[in-house]
Structure 1
Amino acid sequence: MEKKMSSLVKKIKKYLPYLAGILIIINLIFFFYVNKKLAPSDEAIVKILTNDDSILPRVIERLDEIKRQNTEKKVSLHYEELVKNSDLFLGNKNGSEVIIEFFDYNCGYCKRSFSEIMDLILENKNVKIILKELPVLGESSILASKASIASKKQGKYFEFHQELMNFSGPITIEDIIKISEKLKINFEKLKNDMNSNETVILINENYRLAELIEVRGTPAFIIKNKLIPGAIGKNEMLSLLNK
């Protein structure tokens, strides 16, 4: 019984943010009909919403605002965890302006964002980009993330990351071997490190963090407790950092 109650409570909490929007609609209907003591039909509700084009956008805007506020609370709550493992990064290791990026090597928008990030760290020497490998696009993505993380053991993470971000098409083990040869990486050691518990734990930790703050896809950026889904440009990153 306790397990069932716990499950029910979780479901209720999940949908709480959307109740505000529902209440707005109910209040609007109540406002129009309470004095007439009429029970509104479906047609009447549609008429209310279509007669005032601003109602639905306001409801949607309010729902988005509630969702944004809830996400910011979650990011703030877990921020220390998000920045804790920051050994995989771009830019200034000790930079005080921090951006966290969740990404996948097979994600086209992530590749597009990479050039913007490189422009940013060249322009602003105080920025640190903490990289969260989040392979969500299949086995090829998992393979790429494992190889990239493992390359750090040989001091080649940035170079490997750059090669994968500039790579076109699904990444295979043959591609990993070629990149290793190009960067003069010991592939046998890389392969062992790819399958180490340390590598697997790090990727699983990124999955856990992404779920906690409701990252739904890649890329996703965190800048000053704000979660920004999707690709953004250098200027938008700078603007958010300066707010």
Structure 2
Amino acid sequence: MERDPNAPALGNPDGNATLVEFFDYNCQFCRAMLPVVGALLDTDRSLRLVMREWPVFGEGSVFAARAALASRSQGRYPEFHRALLQQKARAEQASVLRTARSIGLDARQFQRDMDRPEVAQHIEQSNTLAAAMGLVGTPTFIAGADSRFGAVPLSELAGLVAAVRKS
């Protein structure tokens, strides 16, 4: 899970600690955690953040997850991920496509890439991992054998990462 080549990673790709986030673009708490996670990455330059697209809030969430994963082929995942979590509208096909255009994604390539096998594989694997671990919702943050669910303070996330480094 921490070194899955089919999972987008933010922060330091060679970081000495890994935090995994299971999230959904239509989750209000995931949206609220965007600046907290950003602050953690800004202050911890040795952290690798693995993103697990886990669309649990319906069809719009699935479309948004597929779109975000497709943006990797254009090297725009971090920017698109942030834009999707910052949009005020619910993530649905129309709002996701509007956001893709706003950051300059190539529309033809983007739509083709959404159907790539690795996109579906990532989402299927997220579902399988979440079920195996008994996750109850988004966001869920996992570091080592410990996890936190929901909107948590920066200090708690930093503590989770620090505990992994100690072990």
The two structures have a TM-score, normalised by structure 1, of 0.64
Q: Does 1:195 align with 2:115?
A: yes
Cα displacement (A) at 1:163:
0.3
| 8 Å Cα contact 1:106/1:169 also seen in 2 | no
- Give the aligned partner of residue 83 of structure 1: 2
Q: Using the alignment, how far apart are the partners of 2:57 and 2:9 within structure 1?
A: 22
Q: CA RMSD in A?
A: 1.3
Bigger drift between 114-123 and 229-238 goes to 229-238
Q: Does 1:224 align with 2:144?
A: yes
Amino-acid identity (%) = 28
| 8 Å Cα contact 2:89/2:95 also seen in 1 | no
Which runs of no fewer than 5 residues in structure 1 stay unpaired? 1-81
For 1:157, which of 77, 91, 99 is the aligned residue? 77
Q: Does 1:239 align with 2:145?
A: no
For 1:108, which of 17, 21, 28 is the aligned residue? 28
Q: Which has the higher contact order (CA 8 A, sep 6+)?
A: 2
Cα displacement (A) at 1:222:
0.5
Cα displacement (A) at 1:214:
0.7
Q: Using the alignment, how far apart are the partners of 1:172 and 1:239 within structure 2?
A: 35
| 8 Å Cα contact 2:19/2:142 also seen in 1 | yes
Q: Using the alignment, how far apart are the partners of 2:9 and 2:41 within structure 1?
A: 11
Cα displacement (A) at 1:103:
0.3
Q: 1:194–1:179: structure 2 CA closer, same or farther, 3 Å change rule?
A: same
Q: Using the alignment, how far apart are the partners of 2:2 and 2:160 within structure 1?
A: 18
Q: Using the alignment, how far apart are the partners of 1:120 and 1:201 within structure 2?
A: 28
Bigger drift between 147-156 and 233-242 goes to 233-242
Cα displacement (A) at 1:169:
2.7
Structure with a larger share of its residues in helix: 1
- Cα deviation digits, residues 38-88 of structure 1 (max 9, x gap): xxxxxxxxxxxxxxxxxxxxxxxxxxxxxxxxxxxxxxxxxxxx1131540
Secondary structure of 2:87's aligned partner: coil
- Give the aligned partner of residue 51 of structure 2: 131
Query: How many residue pairs get matched?
Result: 162
Structure 1 segments, 4+ long, off by >3 Å, are none
- Cα deviation digits, residues 160-181 of structure 1 (max 9, x gap): 0000010123122222222222
Q: Using the alignment, how far apart are the partners of 1:124 and 1:201 within structure 2?
A: 30
Bigger drift between 187-196 and 154-163 goes to 187-196
| 8 Å Cα contact 1:144/1:176 also seen in 2 | yes
